[in-house]
Amino acid sequence: MKYILALDQGTTSCRSIIFNEYFEMISMAQEEFTQIYPHPTWVEHDGEEILRTQIKTLKDVIKRSGIDVSEISSIGITNQRESTIVWDRETGCPVYNSIVWQCRRTADYCDELEEKGYSEYIKNTTGLTIDAYFSATKIKWILENVPGAKALAKEGRLAFGTMDSWLIYNLSGKKDHITDYTNASRTMLYDINNLCWDEKLLEIMDIPASMMPTVVSSSGELSYLDESILGRSIPITGIAGDQQSALFGQGCVTYGDVKNTYGTGCFLLANTLDEKIDSKCGLVSTLACKDDGSVCYALEGSVFIAGALIQWLRDEMGLIHSAAESEYYANLVDGSDGVYIVPAFSGLGAPHWDMRAKAIITGLSRGSNKNHLIRASLEAIAFQLNDLLTALREDLGENIAVLKADGGACANDLLMQLTADIAAITVDRPKNIESTALGAAMLAAIGCGMYNSVSDMPSRVTDKKFYAGYSPEKRETLLKGWNEAVKMCRSHE
Ligand code: ADP
């Protein structure tokens, strides 16, 4: 038996998972790391801590599994996307903490880019809507705010990377400075038409091209784990940003295949293969993987607050003790009785893109109780997802019948059923909901020659399907209420 090691560098934790050649999970190690909030809307991570944590889980999982290092054929890496780290090539040390994807510190500069009329150019070149979420403005912030950084960058001493680059630089014994297409496409500096860094955007943001990693395929002989780490060199043959990795892990490699990851936020992606679709409805275009791991396009919509709303009910409101309890209370009522919650805690993402919208609760009556609020929260996740699916259906010009679900919150059956009802779609939940790590392992398996493509691999197994049950009238009434609530929370800039 041969094994594959998947490294999943997430937003709150690092995980290492060993899969066998049938993609069965053999062993897992996970460890959280510190979230740093220097200001209310700023989020940072310590790059050195992430590296230490990732290496610790890597060593732990091998110990736990009892597998000999020589039995590991290859390594796949998947990571939180967009989060930005800049390091000095001479010392190998970061010049600043990693600025996390959630961080809003560059929102004003994004407004400036928009005012200067760059929206269309950026959309056409990178596929993205200007937002503080993506890496470009975070790199600019570091160069402008860390003393001496700009001068070092101009001398060619500084390197930029997303977490995949940072990990591989260190895991390869500081030999390789690379990233893959899927991660590059989230920087707002990468030309997804011509597959190269865009010189004009680098110039606009005053970022030296020498900082940028070499962009490689998501699958192939990409780098090597230095033998100092496990006593043996192991090829790194798969890399993908977490959402594209989950898309691949769900086997979404046919045109129009759609998955949603229900985590802190919701991330909906549809594979569009060779077709780069210019969304008219607030989605972004990004790079993803085809059946054989080669590069292709996808449409993406992200909602910032989904599972995080359930955490808020637990931690700030004290209405539940655990996220899983939300299902129990929401099931005690058969509807939310006109209550709507729009969780715009950090503005609204796709398809509305309103950085300054504020969260609201509407439709309260004297009879509204805790159960209604909890149910309205689960419904809010489903409504947001429906907004993304409506945009996607319009952009693709076709109906989407099936949504493949994964992520922590997809364990909630009621949430899956509400998605099916509200979005009029069949929700298909797989047995293995660890799609993100699975995708990285699948890419690595192709990269090391174990398989040629997803079609050759053991097929994905469905755990449960949820079918749409609302009448068109009921759905329409509910959507009307939701749309009114969204209108009320908009900033009307
Ligand atoms: P991430 O990778 O974004 O950290 P996970 O995929 O681990 O997130 O999912 C965790 C999120 O899912 C949390 O925000 C949590 O509130 C939510 N969650 C987990 N289990 C449930 C559940 N049974 N019902 C509703 N939400 C849940």
Mean pLDDT for the stretch of residues 322-346: 95
Task: Give the per-residue pLDDT at 196.
Answer: 97
Quote the ligand 1 centre to 328 CA distance (angstroms): 16
Phi, psi dihedral angles at 78 (to 5 degrees): -130, 155
Could you count the other beta carbons within 10 Å of the beta carbon of residue 276? 17
Residue nearest to atom 1 of ligand 1 (CA): 263
* % of the chain with per-residue pLDDT over 90: 89
> Does pLDDT of 493 surpass 60?
no
- 434 CA to centre of ligand 1 in angstroms: 12
Q: Nearest C-alpha to atom 26 of ligand 1 is from which residue?
A: 409
Q: What is the tens place of the pLDDT at every residue in 286-319?
A: 999 999 999 999 999 999 899 999 999 999 999 9
Q: From ligand 1's centre to the CA of 266, what distance in Å?
A: 10
The model's pLDDT over 235-270, given as tens digits with 9 standing for 90+, comes to: 999 999 999 999 999 999 999 999 999 998 999 999
Tokens for 264?
């802190």
| Nearest CA-CA partner of 42 in 85, 102, 113, 88 | 102
DSSP alpha helices (H): ranges in 212-292? 227-230, 242-249
Whether 234 and 224 have beta carbons less than 8 Å apart is answered as yes
Q: How are beta strands 178-180 and 214-216 bridged, if at all?
A: parallel
Question: Are 259 and 403 spatial neighbours (Cβ–Cβ below 8 Å)?
Answer: yes
100 pLDDT exceeds 80? yes
Rounded to the nearest angstrom, the distance between the alpha carbon of 409 and the centre of ligand 1 is: 4
In this prediction, residue 174 carries a pLDDT of 95
Question: In terms of Cα–Cα distance, which of 429, 452, 431 is closest to 442?
Answer: 452
Q: Which domains does the chain have, with CATH numbers?
A: 3-242 (3.30.420.40)
Whether 58 and 65 have beta carbons less than 8 Å apart is answered as no
Output the ligand 1 site: residues, CB below 6 A.
10-12, 263-264, 307-308, 310-311, 323-324, 326-327, 407-409, 411-412, 415
pTM over 0.85: yes
Q: Enter the tokens of residue 465.
A: 């399907």
CA distance 493 to 488: 13
For ligand 1, mutation pick of 379, 381, 412, 438 (most atoms within 8 Å of CB): 412
pLDDT score, position 492:
64
Q: Whose CA is nearest to atom 7 of ligand 1?
A: 408
The reported pLDDT for the residue numbered 144 is: 96
With b meaning 16 or more CB within 10 Å and e meaning fewer, what string describes 315-326? eeeebbeebeeb
What is residue 135's predicted lDDT score, i.e. its pLDDT?
A: 97
The number of C-alpha atoms within 13 Å of 143 and in the hemisphere containing its C-beta is 23
- Please give the Cα distance from 82 to 267 (Å, whole number): 14
Q: H helices of 186-324, where?
A: 199-204, 227-230, 242-249, 307-315
Least confident stretch, 37-41, 178-182, 372-376, 478-482: 37-41
Alpha-carbon distances, residue 122 vs 29, 99, 134, 284 (angstroms): 39, 21, 12, 11
Average pLDDT, the chain: 95
pLDDT at 106 over 60: yes
